[in-house]
Amino acid sequence: MRDYKEIFKKYLQSVGKAYAREIEVVLEKVFAIHGHFTNEDLEKKLVEKQITKDIVEATLSDLVAAGLIRKIYFEDRVYYEQVYGHAHHDHIICINCGKIEAFQDDLIEKEQRRIAKEKHYEFLKHSMQIVGLCLECQKQKNILKRFQEQKEDKGIEKEKILPLSMILPGEQVEIVELNAGDNLKYRLMSMGLQTGQKIEVVSNSFHGPFLVKVQNARIALGYGVTHKVLVRRLENDEKK
Ligand SMILES: [Zn+2]
Ligand SMILES: [Zn+2]
Ligand SMILES: [Zn+2]
């Protein structure tokens, strides 16, 4: 088996591009990831190595062109995965958190070939995605529902209770519940994120970094965490 570095070097040579040290750093990171990743995932892993976003993006598109990795499209998201040395598989994706997993099913593979044959097509390739709600997000949904029912009894309208992940930049909210295990709850509370606290969302990229303003401090939260903080939008007269 030829080394992926050699293949990539040859490819760059063939299109007249240079193979720089930064490119090798990106390349090694990509081939250390097993599974699916977004360009943001990769950029995050390379920040400390001082690799710029531009180099990451350019290297990814060269890797796609070289046939070493491929893109998977899901709604407005793009994931990457290795092709070189990896067996064919299909995907199941969570519509809420964007988690993506692989599966392989012989019957599905066979049936697709049968359908192509039936329609008198020469079978070339297929893409197959199952879209759903992962177990974690189902739990989240159920907790949210139960919580909304409780709040309705207390006279708070249910449309107003949302996970923090759905709040747009500039909006002010009050934390109504931390739906998290003890460790995470403790960590959030130590940052001033507790029930009853009013906060403002500074940035929400719906995947990557999430910034909130708590009193006068700006705090960065992981996107996964923001699903677990339930909030209520503030009325105008409650805002600072
Ligand atoms: Zn398949
Ligand atoms: Zn999910
Ligand atoms: Zn995959």
pLDDT tens profile 134-153: 888 888 777 767 766 766 66
Q: How far away, in angstroms, is 108 Cα from ligand 1 center?
A: 7
Main-chain phi, psi angles of 34, to 5 degrees: -105, 115
Count other Cβ atoms within 10 Å, centred on residue 209: 14
pLDDT tens profile 53-75: 999 999 999 999 999 999 998 87
Q: What is the pLDDT of residue 240?
A: 65
Identify residues whose C-beta is under 5 A from ligand 2, the ion: 94, 96-97, 99, 134, 137
> Encoding tokens for residue 144?
């949210």
Going by C-alpha positions, the residue among 132, 10, 126, 30 that lies closest to residue 81 is 30
Ligand nearest to the Cα of 94, by number: 2
Q: Is the pLDDT of residue 93 over 60?
A: yes
Q: What is the pLDDT of residue 127?
A: 86
For residue 124, the 8-state DSSP code is: -
Ligand nearest to the Cα of 227, by number: 2
SS3 228: coil
Q: How far away, in angstroms, is 37 Cα from ligand 3 center?
A: 9
Q: Provide the residue ranges of all domains of the chain, joining segments of one domain with +.
A: 1-86, 87-136, 157-238
What separation in angstroms does the CA of 75 have from each of 16, 72, 98, 169, 209? Answer: 34, 10, 10, 22, 20
Q: How far away, in angstroms, is 97 Cα from ligand 3 center?
A: 17
Domain 87-136 has CATH 3.40.50.300: no
Ligand nearest to the Cα of 72, by number: 3
Residue 102: beta bridge partners? 91
Element (H, E) at 233: strand 229-233
- Residue type at 42 in one-letter notation: L
Q: How far away, in angstroms, is 227 Cα from ligand 2 center?
A: 10
Please list, in sequence order, all residues whose beta carbon lies within 8 angstroms of the beta carbon of residue 109, skipping any fewer than 6 positions away: 88
Q: Chain-wide mean pLDDT for the chain?
A: 87
Spatial separation of the C-alpha atoms in residues 4 and 98, rounded to whole Å: 28
- For 1-86, CATH gives 1.10.10.10
- Asked whether 8 and 68 are in contact (CB, 8 A), the reply is yes
pLDDT tens profile 3-59: 889 999 999 999 999 999 999 999 999 999 888 999 988 998 898 888 889 999 999
- Asked whether 160 and 152 are in contact (CB, 8 A), the reply is no
Q: How far away, in angstroms, is 34 Cα from ligand 3 center?
A: 9
With b for 16 or more beta-carbon neighbours within 10 A and e for fewer, the 93-110 pattern comes to: bbebbbebeeeeeeeeee
**pTM exceeds 0.75:** no
Q: How far away, in angstroms, is 131 Cα from ligand 2 center?
A: 10
Cα–Cα–Cα angle for 142, 144, 137, rounded to 5 degrees: 55
- End-to-end CA gap in the chain: 63
Q: Thinking of the domain 157-238, which architecture would CATH place it in?
A: Roll (2.30)
Q: How far away, in angstroms, is 83 Cα from ligand 3 center?
A: 9
Ligand nearest to the Cα of 92, by number: 3
